[in-house]
Structure 1
């Protein structure tokens, strides 16, 4: 049993972290709604991580934007199938999008958090790299987990809605044109900005996440959910992760 799967899909610790993130997110949003912010948390098109600029709020209604997989839904069926060590296959994932919805459940804390956001008058929007061709199955999966409504083109945006592939910024900008986005949640850095996808090494990506100009956003507009199972976080050799100055061995 892969340790990451044990942790994410089976442990009380992962459930606690997820609930903690959702509790923090809803508390933050409630505070921001009271304060009536002048800008949201979506980076504008000309922004950089060193010099971030954010879409203005004006008089737009409030929204919160979330990734789907391992952010609001846990894909237990697909990962059960993969637990034997089967390598990832895009065709297999697309088949799961269509037929695996009955095995998904809401991420711990997600339903309570989403319900709380809607009570505050905040529109909940899903921005996923699931395929637009499978929109109906994705909508059903989200709504079966009690997280809906999810309306394609309004509160559900998918890979294939534009010509940018798995990059999400174009969809975020489209959402920010209509809404004041005061919180975002995801399990990958690309769920917050495509700028995080540019660094080529684990060390560079870690430095990007720690950049002083954006570091204050984690837990204050940008909220990360745990995912040690797949994605951009799982990269790097032993030498990448433990450079020379990080090594220790006991004396003989």
Structure 2
């Protein structure tokens, strides 16, 4: 019996210890739900500004186009305008290339970054103020390509949906970035009047037809489908349908550049209804996602 007492006492002591609640730090409170969803454009802008892959895509596109340009110039039947835009025969006309400006030639990601940081959306006043700063940098590869074209007698024409009152600021920005600008006629902004052609919204068809009256277009460059062909109606199905006849031109006559930040692809997901509340537009975009 005396030999067992210490053992029993030890068991009792251990049992007593086990019965005592151990010290557990209080659980961290669950994070409060965000009043406003995280900015949908954050990753897109961060990728555009920091990912080397972004720059390599532009460099690859413009280098590839440059290797094909002289062959296109030498082929008198080569033309990069959609059927609806080729309003007069191209035979004997001066050669040209057409480039969109924003996110095709000039990098406006700093403006997008300002929107992300402020939590705001695009508005005309802030956009115009950014354009008038004339500080957008040229995107990789475009200066070399456009200078190569100009050296070979190919006119470089810029088609932009910037408002007409931004023409001078945009021309100054293009020149400051090192791009060739033959003169004011090389820039066709949103307010350009084209006799005999009725512009629909911001579509560029009338301006392409204006170029077509005087030039054989060798190549077109843009970050939006509307930079190549008018898109009516602007729905996912309509967009696929309008480009279907020209798929063989991609990478040969039409060169498409990436823009995950904005574009006509976005309103196509919510019936082009910019008057809808931001939350409703976001809900419609979420519905468009595929999970299988």
Tell which structure's C-alpha radius of gyration is larger: 2
Q: Which residue of 1 aligns with 2:273?
A: none
SS, match of residue 83 in structure 1: helix
Q: 4+ runs of 1 displaced by more than 6 Å?
A: none
Aligned partners of 1:38 and 1:56 also within 8 Å = no
Question: Offset of 1:208 from its aligned partner?
Answer: 3.6
Secondary structure at the counterpart of residue 147 of structure 2: helix
Q: Could you tell me the TM-score, scaled by structure 1's length? A: 0.84
Q: 1:221 to 1:93 in 2, by over 3 A?
A: same
Residue of structure 1 aligned with 2:73, choices 22, 33, 42: 33
Pairing 1:220–2:259 present? no
Contact 1:40 1:55 survives alignment (8 Å): no
1:206 aligns to 2:245 (yes or no) = no
The answer to whether 1:240 aligns with 2:288 is yes
RMSD: 2.0
Number of paired residues? 230
5+ unaligned residues in a row in structure 1: which ranges?
Answer: 48-52
User: What residue is the counterpart of 2:127 in the other structure?
Assistant: 93
In 2, are the aligned partners of 1:66 and 1:186 still within 8 Å (CA)?
yes
Distance 2:286 2:95 in 1: 44
Question: How far did 1:150 drift?
Answer: 5.1
Deviates more, 1:86-95 or 1:178-187: 86-95
* Residue-by-residue CA offset, 1:63-91 (whole Å, 9 max, x unaligned): 00000000000013312311223111122
Partner of 1:43: 82
Q: Distance between the aligned counterparts of 1:55 and 1:216, measured in 2? A: 23
CA shift, 1:101, in A, is 1.1
Distance 1:23 1:56, change over 3 A: farther
- 1:230 matched to 2:262? The reply is yes
Which structure has more relative contact order (CA 8 Å, sep 6+)? It is 1
Deviations 1:116-167 (A, max 9, x none): 1112221111011111112111110000000032522x21100111262412
List runs of 5+ in structure 2 lacking aligned partners.
1-40, 270-284
Partner of 1:157: 188
Is the contact made by 1:188 and 1:232 (CA closer than 8 Å) also made in structure 2? Answer: yes
Q: What are the equivalent positions in structure 2 for 1:73-84 lying under 5 Å apart?
A: 73-84=106-117
Equivalent residue number for residue 211 of structure 2: 175
The equivalent of 1:134 in structure 2 is 166
The structure with more strand, counted as a fraction of residues: 1
Q: Which residue of 2 aligns with 1:62?
A: 95
